[in-house]
Amino acid sequence: MGREGKITIKDIAEMAGVSKTTVSFFLNGKTEKMSPETRDKIQDIIRETNYRPNIAARTLNQKKTHLIGVIIGDITNTFSNRIVKGIEDTARKRGYQTLIGNSAYDPEMESSYVSRMLTLGADGFIIQPTPGFRETSGMIKAENKPFVYFDSKIYEEDASWVKTDNYQATYRAIDSLIHKGYSNFLMIGADPSRLSTRIERSSGFIDCVTENGFSYRSLLIKEGEIDNAEVVRFVEDNMKPGHPTLVYVPNCWALPEIHKALQQFKDKVPDQLGIIGFDNVEWAVFSYPKITTIVQPAYEEGQKAAEMLIDQIEETNKEKIHQTLKCSVNWTESTM
C-alpha cells in the first residue's frame, strides 16, 4: 500500500492481476476495449477496499495543466542547476510551471517520479534518463504524454532528444592538446558504460589518442569514493620523463577532487602535467592553477528542451526532434 496505509492504483492493479494503466483507464471511464470480466474484477476490488481515487488528479489528467515534469539524474551539480534554470525560464515565458525530481540515476526512483507527476496531470516530461528508462517510457506513452530526453541520446526512432556534442568536443580538445605537445595520456573517471554521455566522452578521448598513434591508461572511480592517494599513485606511476602527461577527467563532479589530489604536482603544471575536465566553470576559474574545461551550453540545452516539449504539447511542429548543441573550451592555466 501507499504511504499512511492508503490503497493506491498500484495495489488495485496487483489485486486484479492487471496493469496500472488498465486501472487508470477504468477510473477514467475508458472501458470500451476492456473485457466484462476485467471491468467486474476491478469494480469488485474497488468496492471491497473502499478505494477512493483522487478526483482532482483525474480531472487534471483530462485537460492541459501547463505543468511540465522534469527529472534530473543529479540535481546537486552546476550543470543540472543551469539546465533547470534554462527549462524554467523558457517554460515560464510560455505559461508553464515545472515539477522537479532528482532520480539519483535510480530507475525505480525515476519511475516513481513519473508515476506521481502523471497523477498530478503533467502535460509532458523532460528527462535525463537512467539506463532503465525504456520501461518507464512505456508508462508515459500509455498516457499519450510527450517527452524529451536531454544529456543522453536514447536510440529509439521516435524519441525526441537534445544533447551536446560530447564526443566531438572531447576529440577536438584532445587533438588540440596533442598538437601543443602532450604525448602521454591518462583518463580518470567513472564507469562509462552507465550513461551515453560517459560513453561519448571516453570514446572521444580514446579515439583521438589512439588515432594519433599514442596509448592511454585509465583509472575507474566512484562518486563519493575517490581515494586521493590512489589517484596520486596512478599519476606518479604513469608519468614518463620527457613525455608531457595529460590527465583527462570526463565527470564534472570528480574534477574538484582530482584537482585536490594532484596539488602536489602543481609545480609541474602545465608543461609536464596538464589537466582538462568537463564543466564546473565557476569552480575551475577560481582554482589554482585554473583548470581548462570543456563547457557544455547547459542553460541553452535547458531552453531548447523546454521549447521542444512545449512544441509537442501544443502540436505546433516547429522544432526538430533531434538537436545537438556545440560545446566550447575554456582554456586556462592547467594546459599548455
pLDDT tops 80 at residue 5: no
pLDDT digits (tens, 9 = 90+) for 74-114: 888 888 899 999 999 999 999 999 999 999 989 999 999 99
pLDDT tops 80 at residue 28: no
**Least confident interval from 11-15, 53-57, 78-82, 294-298:** 53-57
Distance of alpha carbon 248 from alpha carbon 275, whole angstroms: 6
Instruction: Specify whether 267 is located in the same domain as 307.
Output: no
Q: Which CATH number goes with the domain that contains 11?
A: 1.10.260.40
Instruction: Specify whether 135 is located in the same domain as 244.
Output: no
Is residue 58 included in any domain, yes or no?
A: no
Instruction: Specify whether 286 is located in the same domain as 306.
Output: no
Containing H/E element for 11?
Answer: helix 9-16
Q: In Å, what is the CA distance from 319 to each residue of 37, 86, 117, 152, 312? A: 44, 17, 24, 18, 8
- Beta strand 328-330 with 292-295 is antiparallel
Whether 247 and 188 have beta carbons less than 8 Å apart is answered as yes
Place of cell 608531457: 244
Q: CB within 8 A of 221, min separation 6: which ones? A: 188, 189, 190, 227, 231, 254
Is residue 336 included in any domain, yes or no?
A: no
Instruction: Specify whether 12 is located in the same domain as 125.
Output: no
Is residue 72 included in any domain, yes or no?
A: yes
Residue 198 per-residue DSSP state: H
Angle at 305 between CA 304 and CA 309, to 5 degrees: 115
Instruction: Specify whether 136 is located in the same domain as 214.
Output: no
Distance of alpha carbon 118 from alpha carbon 113, whole angstroms: 8
Instruction: Specify whether 76 is located in the same domain as 115.
Output: yes
Whether 68 and 126 have beta carbons less than 8 Å apart is answered as yes
Give the mean model confidence (pLDDT) for residues 256-269.
94
pLDDT, residue 54, reads 59
Instruction: Specify whether 18 is located in the same domain as 38.
Output: yes
pLDDT tops 60 at residue 248: yes
Distance of alpha carbon 76 from alpha carbon 228, whole angstroms: 22
Q: Which CATH number goes with the domain that contains 235?
A: 3.40.50.2300
Domain containing residue 35? 3-53
Neighbours of 172 (CB within 10 A): 18
Is residue 30 included in any domain, yes or no?
A: yes
b/e per residue 27-45 (b: at least 16 CB within 10 A): beeebeeeeeebeebbeeb
Instruction: Specify whether 26 is located in the same domain as 108.
Output: no
Instruction: Specify whether 198 is located in the same domain as 245.
Output: yes
Q: pTM of the full predicted structure?
A: 0.76
- Three-state helix/strand/coil letters over 98-165: EEEEECCCCHHHHHHHHHHHHHCCCCEEEECCCCCHHHHHHHHHHCCCCEEEECCCCCCCCCEEEEEC
Instruction: Specify whether 224 is located in the same domain as 118.
Output: no
Instruction: Specify whether 139 is located in the same domain as 203.
Output: no
Domains held by the chain: number: 3
**Residue closest to 123 by CA, chosen among 311, 292, 295:** 311
Is residue 332 included in any domain, yes or no?
A: no
Neighbours of 218 (CB within 10 A): 17
pLDDT tops 50 at residue 2: no
**Residue closest to 135 by CA, chosen among 19, 306, 2:** 19
pLDDT tops 90 at residue 6: no
Distance of alpha carbon 264 from alpha carbon 246, whole angstroms: 16
Whether 209 and 241 have beta carbons less than 8 Å apart is answered as no
Instruction: Specify whether 170 is located in the same domain as 158.
Output: no
Using pLDDT thresholds of 50, 70 and 90, give the confidence band for residue 3. very low
Is residue 331 included in any domain, yes or no?
A: no
Q: Percentage of the chain with pLDDT > 70?
A: 92
Is residue 334 included in any domain, yes or no?
A: no
Residue by residue, DSSP assigns 207-248 as HHHHHTT--EEEEE--TT---HHHHHHHHHHH-BTTB-EEEE
Is residue 59 included in any domain, yes or no?
A: no
